[in-house]
Structure 1
C-alpha cells in the first residue's frame, strides 16, 4: 500500500510543513535512539534515556477518555488502558513497546496503547519487560510469555488476543508467536506490527540505501542495542531475528512502515516470507514517514491507526 495522494508538489509542501511542526518532538525521540559504540552502553546514558521516555510518554499520550490502571503482574510492572465509555471486552490487545530492548517502559507505552484502545475499543495490556544490557535475551521473551499467560488465566482465548508491537516490540511479538508455535500452543488472533525490527543481522538493502534519509535511527544505534541484547548469540536465530523463522500457521498480520526507514527492508522481507508461507499479510508503506511515526500527533498517524481498526474488523 502507498498512502500518498495529490500531486508531487502538494505532497512535498505538506510533508515539509508537517516536519517543521513536529521537529521538537522528533528531536526528543531521536535523542532517545542514540547510543555509543556497539561495545559500550553507558549506564548513565541509558538511565537518562529511560527516564526521558517515561516523561515523554506521559506528556504525549492522548489519554482523554481513557482509564490507565497500573498493577503488578507477578512482580512485573504492567498497565491496562481502557476506554472510559462502555465497550465490548471480547477481544484484547497485548502491546509490546519498542526501545531497542535497552529502553522503554510503561510511561512510553501510554502513547500507542491509548491510540490502539481508542481506534479499536479493545482493552490494551502493556507490560514493562526487563531490559538489556542488565537483562539480555531471553529476559524480554520470558516476560512477554508471562503477560501472555496472564491473559490466558483471565479467560481470554488465544484467538481473542491481538499482539501489537512497534520496533523492538514488533520483534518481540513475532518471537512470541514463534515460541508459542514451537511448543504446540495456539497463536494470537492477529498481529499488528509498526516498523518492526525483524533482522538483527542487518542484511537488508535499506540499512545502506536509506541511512542518509532516516531521521530517527542509525546503523550504529542498531549495532549497539543488538550487541547489548543478543550477547554474542546467533543473530540468525528466529528468536532474535524472527524474519528467519518459519511462518506456516501464523495469524493474519498487518505491517506498517515508513518509507524513510533503515528498517524498511525488515518489513518488506517479512511480508514476502509470510506470503510464501500463505499467511494473510498486509504491508502498508507510508512514503516520507519515519520510524514509528504512528506515535506523532498528525493526520497520517491517525490514518495509520484507523487502518489498524479496519484490519481488525475485517478479520
Structure 2
C-alpha cells in the first residue's frame, strides 16, 4: 500500500496543480529561449550578445531534439552546412520536407534545427532537409533567400518534383518559406505541394495589433528584439516589400497552407492576417491558434506541442 501513495497523490492533483507543475518543468526552456531572443536595444545587435544567442540555440537543439528513431546525416550543400533527418525505418522516399529554421535571420544552426526537423520527420514519415543559411548582420538580405533557393534547387537535382516537396518554417523560417514561394512563382516555376508555418514572421512593418496587445504576455519575444533583427537583416530596405513582408504580396495560387500560432505571442497578427489574405486569394488554408501558448511552442517537450505536431501529420495526410 505504501508504494501506491505517490500515485494516489498524483491522481488527486487538480487541473490547476497539473498546469503549475508543467509550468515549473518548462520554465528552464522558456528562460533559455528568452535569452536567445534578447536584444539590449532596438538599433544594435552587440556581437558578443549575438554570439551567445547562436551558441545558446545550438546547445538547446542538442538538449531538446527528440532524435530517438531518427538518423542525422550532415553534408555540405555548396558552401552551406546541411543535413537530412530521416526516420530510421519505414519512411516515404518519394516525398520530403524542406525545413527553414527560425532565429530572426540573425541566429540558428543545424543543431538548433534538429528540434523541429526531427519532429516533422516523426509525424510525417518523410525525410526532412534542413540547411544553415547565411545569417545577418554579416550576411543581410537577400543572402538567406538565395540560400533557400539553392536548397530547393538541390532537391530538384536529387529527383524530387516540386509536388513532392513540402516547405516548412518557424518564425523567420516561416518568412523564408513564404518568400521562397513568392520567388518560385515569379520565376514561373512549380510551387511546393504545401506550406507548414509555425508562428511565421510575415510583417516586418510590425503593423499588426498583437505587436502592442501581446507585448506584456509574450514570454519569448520582445519588440526590441523584432526591431533589432529586422534592422540587422534589412537595414535601409522597404520593409513592406513582399520579399521581406510576404503578407503584403500576391498570394494567388499559393499551395495549401497550415499555420499554427499561440494566443500569447507577439506575432499572432502575422498569422491571422496571413490566413485572411490566403482565404481572400482562394488558397486552402487552416489556422490553428493554441490557447495560452507562445511563439513556436511546438519545440517544447510537452503534451500540447505533441498535439500540434500530430495535427501537422493529419494535415499532410489530407493534403498529400
Higher normalized contact order (CA 8 Å, seq sep 6+, divided by chain length): 1
| Equivalent residue, structure 1, for 2:184 | 180
Find out whether 1:231 has 2:219 as its counterpart.
no
Contact kept in structure 2, 1:236 and 1:244, CA below 8 Å: yes
Which residue number in structure 1 is paired with residue 121 of structure 2? 117
Equivalence for 1:98: 102
SS at structure 1 position matched to 2:94: coil
> Aligned equivalents of 1:16 and 1:288: distance in 2?
13
Matching residue of 2:303: 299
Name the CA distance, whole Å, in 2 between partners of 1:11 and 1:195. 27
Return the alpha-carbon distance in structure 1 between the equivalents of residues 272 and 17 of structure 2: 27
Q: Distance in 1 between matches of 2:278 and 2:24?
A: 37
CA-to-partner distance for each residue in 1:28-86, whole Å, 9 max, x for gaps?
11100001222211111111111111111011100001100000001100000001113
* Cα distance, 1:234–1:122 mapped onto 2, change above 3 Å: same
1:94–1:126: 8 Å Cα contact kept in structure 2?
yes
Shift of 1:15: 3.8
Post-superposition shift, 1:12? 5.4
CA distance in 1 between counterparts of 2:52 and 2:164 reads: 37
How many residues of Structure 1 are paired with residues of Structure 2 in the alignment?
306
CA-based RMSD: 1.0
Partner of 1:246: 250
Per-residue CA distance 1:206-243 (angstroms, 9 max, x = gap): 00011111000001100000000011100000000000
SS at structure 2 position matched to 1:248: coil
Residue 192 of structure 1 aligns with which residue? Answer: 196
Partner of 1:19: 23
Who is 1:6 aligned against? Answer: none
What residue ranges of structure 2 are gaps of 5+ in the alignment?
A: 1-13
Deviation track 1:289-312 (CA, whole Å, cap 9, x = no partner) reads 000000000000000000000000
Map 1:138-177 onto structure 2 (within 5 A): 138-177=142-181
Q: TM-score, normalised by structure 1?
A: 0.95
Q: Identify the range of structure 1 (209-218 vs 33-42) with the bigger mean alpha-carbon deviation.
A: 33-42
Match for residue 266 of structure 1?
270
The CA distance in 2 between the partners of 1:113 and 1:29, in whole Å, is: 18
Does the C-alpha gap of structure 1 residues 138 and 74 become closer, same or farther in structure 2, counting only changes over 3 Å?
A: same
In 2, distance between residues paired with 1:17 and 1:55?
24
TM-score normalised to structure 2 length: 0.94
Q: Is the 8 A contact 1:15 1:288 kept in 2?
A: no
Asked if the contact 2:90/2:125 (under 8 Å) is kept, the reply is no
Determine which of 111, 130, 143 is the counterpart of 1:107.
111
